[in-house]
Amino acid sequence: MKIKNLKDLEELKIKGLESLYPKRTKINVGLGTCGIATGARAVFDSIADEIEKQGIDALVGKTGCLGFCQREPLVDVWQPGKSRIIYCQMDPEKARDLVTGLAQGKTRKEWALCRMEEEEFIIENTKKKYSIKEKDGKDIPLYREIPFYRKQKKIALRNCGFMNPENIEEYIARGGYFSLARVLSRLKEEEVIEEIKNSGLRGRGGAGFPTGLKWKFCRDARGEPKYIICNADEGDPGAYMDRSILEGDPHSVLEGMVIGAYAIGSHEGYIYVRNEYPLAAQSVERAIRQAEEYGLLGENIFNSGFNFRIRISQGAGAFVCGEETALLASIEGKIGEPRPRPPFPAERGLWDKPTNINNVKTWANVPVIIARGADWYSKMGTAKSKGTMVFSLVGKINNTGLVEVPMGIKLREMIYDIGEGIPEGKKFKAVQTGGPSGGCIPSELADLEVDYEKLTQAGSMMGSGGMVVMDEDTCMVNVAKYFLNFTKDESCGKCTPCREGIKRMLEILDDISKGKAKETDLELLETLARVVKDASLCALGGTAPNPVLTTLRYFRNEYEAHIKDKKCPAHICPDLIHYSIDKEKCTGCGLCLKECPQTAISGEKKKPHSIDKSKCIKCGVCFEVCNFDAVEID
């Protein structure tokens, strides 16, 4: 059916609500890539199988990712009249037990992550309160109360994990496409741009350019046709929020794009999604088809006379294609290489026509801003960074996952409150924000309020929102080496500083980590980093030195220890560490001797053993297997 007016949309909303909150039990399984990776498909199958086998009157549904990736597979159980309970770390066996229990009216509290008594529909500013007749699971903490979710404010991630991404009616039920209806029926193009401008929304791809202004440039640019692009070429190691949105809530991106297209005057759009995201591409493709079927995309949208089509373009897997000019080249079928700007894409973009490119998260924010207004949105965040930001909290942290928080949250809150600290009680050392192009921020700056400006001042950047937490066992030279190795491989190789400079920086870092570097090398490394940042053609080379520059700025002593003392303080760089056995502690159990792959350990049974340093390859096996802490590293 084609939706022609608000009445049609309201009717679908009712259908969607019935699907979201049916009159019988519904078991939802999070089937995002992260869920699938931990076995959610098998969980889904076993639930479906068990329901059928036992002839239970229950539905089984799929949702996207709820963000708490570490606790996947997540399963949420909706039962009319009861609290909604989210179970975590499920497996097929537990899932069968759960279904059997449900049939007998049992709650498996021991597997529960949290429970919900209401849901926030942020776009409508309403709370959907469940009509709970039977209070059970009171000792299960509420969703809003558990540390991982307590400080979160979900705008871009509003629907992820709460609805079936394959069901457009569920999206409509949660307030979807009402913003588009309002825009097309009541707002002028300029008014839309003005609203986005006033909201203070900035590009969530990392550079943070004001979105409204970008739209205005493209609208004012001469040339037809104009193109709209969604940049879903998310390539930072450890960042996956764009994927999660495309998988879990593709319509939010489509709706944002149609609104943007209307404001800019475009009738053709592309979603550029990387090849490594097959599920996301499928999800978007399905969503496009559905939206077209319902008249929310394509010809005469909402019977308004406005036309807009979206196509999918898949990249071949190059990090540099996230850079907008390289992305454009890739869509055009050319090698994905950046070109100098100006001219900016707003002026000369895809096929030399005015083009507006925004990140997945930016688009997903748009419908909410239209619905709730610029004033509401701009009240969140800091002076220049408004709204929320999605971070992927990963690395040495207890709670890993996708986190959406208001801009201005302190790093400390991210790490200790949401992330609940560092595993094994280790010390927090640094956090890399902004992916390989970002920088390492030391623990001393834990009170830094996270926004575009503050991160840049600290030598890092917002980037796409990656947050890799490191503990005391991390060698900062090694970290810089890791990220530079990535950018070395992902540099397109077009310009001299990025291609040759990163390679040379990496050579110096390698020397440092092997204890072969001279003191003057540190100066050369710094000069190289500074010039590569300054002289590169695009943002890849322009930001690649950040890990080096920030680790030099905050952890210079560690570099010096490698160079002058030939020591790796974190005991990571193999060339600079030595294993030895403490004769006092060694019981002569022989375990290390047995496990050493080099037969470098010798000693009689029940007498202290020793390591032959000339044979030792520093694999660390002896250290790991010793039950008496007798193996030492220096």
Partner 1 sequence: MLNLTIDGKKVSVEKGTTVLHAARKLGIEIPTLCYHEGVSPYGACRVCLVEVVKGIKTGLTTSCTCLAEEGMEVKSDSPRVLESRKLMVELLLARCPEAEKVKDLARKMGIEGVRFKREDKECILCGLCVRVCQEIIEASVIGFINRGANREVETPFQAQSDVCIGCGACSSVCPTEAIKIKEMFDKRILETWHTELELKSCKICGRYFVPKKELEHLKEKIELPEDIFEICTDCKRKSLTGKIGEIKTGAI
Residue ranges binding partner 1 (CB under 8 A) = 318, 320, 335, 337, 339-340, 342, 488-504, 507, 524, 527-528, 531, 534-537
Single out the residue of 274, 293, 287 nearest to residue 247, CA to CA: 287
Nearest CB to partner 1, comparing residues 77 and 505: 505
Nearest CB to partner 1, comparing residues 119 and 500: 500
Q: Please report, to the nearest 10 degrees, the dihedral formed by the alpha carbons of residues 217, 219, 222, 224 taken in order.
A: 140
- Decide: 403 and 67 in contact? Cβ < 8 Å: yes
Single out the residue of 199, 155, 175 nearest to residue 404, CA to CA: 155
Residue 489 CB, nearest approach to partner 1 (Å): 6
- Quick one: tokens of 312? 């999918």
Nearest CB to partner 1, comparing residues 41 and 504: 504
Residue 533 CB, nearest approach to partner 1 (Å): 10
Residue 325 CB, nearest approach to partner 1 (Å): 11
Task: Return d(Cα 35, Cα 30) in angstroms, integer.
Answer: 6
Nearest CB to partner 1, comparing residues 292 and 507: 507
Question: Beta strand 388-395 with 466-471: parallel, antiparallel or unpaired?
Answer: parallel
Nearest CB to partner 1, comparing residues 330 and 536: 536
Q: At what angle do helices 278-293 and 241-248 cross, to 10 degrees?
A: 40
Question: Beta strand 25-30 with 75-78: parallel, antiparallel or unpaired?
Answer: antiparallel
Residue 204 CB, nearest approach to partner 1 (Å): 23
* 362: CB partners within 8 A, 6+ apart: 201, 203, 204, 205, 211, 256
* 519: CB partners within 8 A, 6+ apart: 563, 564
Nearest CB to partner 1, comparing residues 180 and 326: 326
Q: Is 606 exposed, middle or buried (0-12, 13-18, 19+ CB in 10 A)?
A: exposed
Single out the residue of 194, 397, 172 nearest to residue 294, CA to CA: 172
* 220: CB partners within 8 A, 6+ apart: none
Nearest CB to partner 1, comparing residues 107 and 536: 536
Give the N- to C-terminal CA distance of the chain in Å, as an integer: 71
Residue 211 CB, nearest approach to partner 1 (Å): 21
The secondary structure of 352-390, three-state, reads: HCCEEEEEHHHHHHHHHHHHHCHHHHHCCECCCCECEEE
Residue 362 CB, nearest approach to partner 1 (Å): 24
Nearest CB to partner 1, comparing residues 179 and 487: 487
Residue 531 CB, nearest approach to partner 1 (Å): 5
Could you give the 3-state DSSP secondary structure of residue 594? helix
Nearest CB to partner 1, comparing residues 55 and 340: 340
Residue 436 CB, nearest approach to partner 1 (Å): 13
Task: Return d(Cα 217, Cα 43) in angstroms, integer.
Answer: 49
Residue 349 CB, nearest approach to partner 1 (Å): 17
Question: Beta strand 388-395 with 355-359: parallel, antiparallel or unpaired?
Answer: unpaired
Nearest CB to partner 1, comparing residues 233 and 490: 490
Residue 338 CB, nearest approach to partner 1 (Å): 9
